[in-house]
Amino acid sequence: MTRAQHPKRPPQPKRTPLRRIPHPRLLLSLALLACLALIAARRWQSLSTEARSYQIEHFSLGADGTRPSYQLPEDFELMRELREKGSSSMLRLAWTLYYERWKQHYSIGRLSALGIRVGADQLPLVHEMITDACYLLGVDQPPNVFIVREPAEQITVTNFREPTIIIGSSFLWAFSADELRFLIARAVAHIRCEHVFMLDMVQGIKAILERALPDTIANYLVSGVLMQYMEWHKWAEMSADRGALTVTGDVSVALGALIKLNIGANFEDHLGPLNPDAYARQIERVDDAAVGSMAATVAEIANPNPFLTLRVGELRAFSAAHSRMFQ
């Protein structure tokens, strides 16, 4: 008896190899970038015609291209490098976002209606601080200066076309006259170093990141040229600190003003003066890598007084290196 013969199997079709599924992180990245592009496109469409048509102009670094002695070379060189990149679409969007915000909140007309304009006949002591700083730092045209009630304002300088210093009334009580002189001189130093255009650009970047974007998207944005803007912002603030110290000459007053600017409080009246040396020892324990990381940079974007941890140490070193000039 022969074995039953099994029927031959029909030929099987060739199987095509399965395509590899992209990594989930890559898919997430693409989805986030697509969402960001959609948000940016819609926001661009909502901008006013005036803001969309506004042309970013090359700002002046001075007729001879020189820099003040107190301006850090890193600040000067990085500012020139970023100037060449100012025509990219993301940076143009950042500028137009801030331009629209500035038109709404920082126009001379609105500030005149809501605040007090400082002049020779209005708060002459503050006006004298402005004119002295302009004379010592080489600013020919004194800026507009307004004191406003809005609590969000501390002391800022904006509008590179017609530089304007805005001081918040709610934080003035924290500072002595000498400390206020230092802070005003910082704003004038920003003007002398030609920082105002770039500071406005940084505010535009902040406007994008503050549009209720998740931290994940913010981390993607703070990369490449945007990371360079924040790096420049750090050096620019240090240059302004140095310039203000050349006006006031007292490093203890300068450090006290910076510390109180960061926390917005006055201790002298009830608890005694601050100890800048103790604060310096406090921040010496902070790892430099931690304060320079991307996560720390993202956090600094929301800080109205960024990179203070680094700035206090740098200003102390600058004062020590020029001890004959400063007290």
What pLDDT, in 10s, does the model give residues 27-77? 666 776 676 666 656 655 554 454 444 443 433 333 344 678 899 999 999
Looking at residue 10, its pLDDT comes to 65
What pLDDT, in 10s, does the model give residues 114-157? 899 999 999 999 999 999 999 999 898 999 999 998 755 688 89
Looking at residue 71, its pLDDT comes to 92
Q: What would the mean pLDDT of 97-107 be, rounded to a whole number?
A: 67
Q: Which residue has the higher pLDDT, 232 or 102?
A: 232
Helix, strand or coil, per DSSP, at residue 305: coil
Query: How far is residue 247's CA from residue 228's CA, in Å, rounded to a whole number?
Result: 29
% pLDDT > 70, the chain: 57
* Residue 174 maps to a domain: yes
282-291 contacts, C-beta under 8 A, 24 or more apart = 283/309, 283/312, 283/313, 284/313
* Residue 305 maps to a domain: yes
Looking at residue 200, its pLDDT comes to 80
Q: What is the DSSP string of 245-300?
A: HHHH--HHHHHHHHHHHHHT---TTTT----HHHHHHHHHTS-HHHHTSHHHHHHH
* Residue 232 maps to a domain: yes
Looking at residue 203, its pLDDT comes to 74
Domain count, the chain: 1
What pLDDT, in 10s, does the model give residues 167-182? 988 778 888 899 999 9
* Residue 105 maps to a domain: yes
- Report residue 2's pLDDT band, with 50, 70 and 90 as the boundaries: low
Looking at residue 58, its pLDDT comes to 37
> In whole angstroms, how far apart are CA 7 and each of 4, 12, 13?
9, 15, 18
- Give me the domain span that covers residue 172: 69-321
Looking at residue 56, its pLDDT comes to 37
Query: How far is residue 160's CA from residue 197's CA, in Å, rounded to a whole number?
Result: 5
Q: Which residue has the higher pLDDT, 52 or 268?
A: 268
* Residue 299 maps to a domain: yes
CA 242, chain centre distance (Å): 17
Under a CB-based contact definition with an 8 Å cutoff, are residues 179 and 253 in contact? yes
* Residue 123 maps to a domain: yes
Mean pLDDT score of the chain? 75
Query: How far is residue 42's CA from residue 132's CA, in Å, rounded to a whole number?
Result: 46
Q: What would the mean pLDDT of 96-113 be, rounded to a whole number?
A: 72
* Residue 96 maps to a domain: yes
* Residue 47 maps to a domain: no
What pLDDT, in 10s, does the model give residues 179-220? 999 999 999 999 999 998 888 877 776 666 665 455 555 555
